[in-house]
Structure 1
């Protein structure tokens, strides 16, 4: 009896007191440095996906070419009288529209990965829980870079010569990429809360179309009805396009440059916490 009671006593000392039916989920506490490394690793994973399935780049490769040709030859003569006079107007507009449209893919692919259980596998790995989301947002900046470069190249082939110089063109491209990355947080939020990838795409385009088409991207604001001009002038995409036109046309940085960055900062300040909070609940 003494031996048995001693054995039970020793067993109780080393066995944790676990409530029946309860399970313990290990939580990964990682440093900021490891979070950054994990995020870049996930971004590299996104680039490998593009390498293995290059058809994912169809939108960023064909869209700048098709849109530039189509809008230039359709609207060029009617708005500016000739193609050469319309190119300084349309190229910044096509650039903003193409790159911002590309940011929709962030939310769609995020939802697809969650539906396929990819993110469930990431939960069991000793990585920062936020890194799959951060990596997806980082990887898509490569898509924005490709779209920006092809738009500028297409414009140059058609005869567009930016008077602002190469440095101003690079700054304009970086500005558009930064703003598109900010807007991608909106679509990432839709990707986290939506039920399917198709619904993400549908909701995203409902937001995207007013921002891009109800702007000064294709026609002068003065040609629009007065009741519509107020929205176009307040549209942050209009400020972005005007900033790009100032940079590429004269190499100047005006107030629209600061307003475009301010709009991007506001979008990130609102949607980044909402996206992270919704994602962490599911992660």
Structure 2
């Protein structure tokens, strides 16, 4: 266990040093959600209404927090594929280290990145008028649910990245992240969507986290459906299910590389 922890921390530091040496992708990753908030909050927000009434920017911010956790899958997949293309993965596999340490190091580094992105988005949200009205503990729980979603999606990204054979396949996989993000309650309520589309959006794991955060933050637009009323439960169950499925798949795929 001590060896696993030491190897994991070493590989986490490796990824952090890469970000320091090449900060451009990190900066772009931080600026993109800020630009999206400004675009939807100020350009489109006036044309959008919140079911039940309320400020659209307060409706938007929990969706943006969760959406950023989803879009983080793209950087996870890209990092895994880049390591494979450069031969780093093969070198790690030949070294005397815990076999799962590489994957855990990747997940720890991505979690630190997710926390940094959330801090930037919270500051941006406060500047455009968003506030949490739910109190300290519910607010803390909401951010915990956001990071739980990110942790689960990291393992989805790791597994998909390990399956990819090159940049073309990676680009196709990254494109599929967008429907997952936009076919949700992040920007508009599922109640305003056509029947089957709204049902898909309602059961999207992202929507569960969004609805839970809106409720915990005391922001408008939680929704009145059964899923929305039990959003906190689903915001825990969905990530736990994803972790239970994709951690074993990722470890098995890692161990089977080159076989």
**TM-score for the superposition, normalised by structure 1:** 0.82
By how many angstroms is 1:198 displaced? 4.0
- In the TM superposition, what are the counterparts of 1:42-81 in structure 2 within 5 Å? 42-80=11-49
Residues 33, 68 of structure 2: 8 Å contact kept: yes
**More relative contact order in 1 or in 2 (CA 8 Å, sep 6+)?**
2
Residues 63, 210 of structure 2: 8 Å contact kept: yes
Partner of 2:188: 219
RMSD: 2.1
Partner of 1:201: 171
Residues 64, 150 of structure 1: 8 Å contact kept: no
Secondary structure of the residue that 2:188 maps to in structure 1? coil
CA distance 1:227–1:254, shift in 2 (3 Å) = closer
1:232 to 201, 215, 240: 201
1:262 to 237, 245, 250: 237
Secondary structure of the residue that 1:80 maps to in structure 2? coil
Partner of 2:160: 190
Partner of 1:87: 57
Partner of 1:20: none
Partner of 2:139: 169
1:280 to 232, 247, 255: 255
By how many angstroms is 1:64 displaced? 2.0
Give unmatched runs, 5+ long, in structure 1. Answer: 1-31
Q: Does 1:152 align with 2:122?
A: yes
Larger Rg over CA atoms: 1
Q: Does 1:98 align with 2:63?
A: no
Q: 1:125-168, CA deviations, whole angstroms, 9 ceiling, x for partnerless residues?
A: 22112211211111101111111111111110011121113443
**TM-score for the superposition, normalised by structure 2:** 0.89
Separation of aligned partners in 2, 1:191 and 1:47: 19
2:7 to 38, 56, 66: 38
2:97 to 123, 127, 139: 127
By how many angstroms is 1:213 displaced? 0.7
Q: Does 1:114 align with 2:84?
A: yes
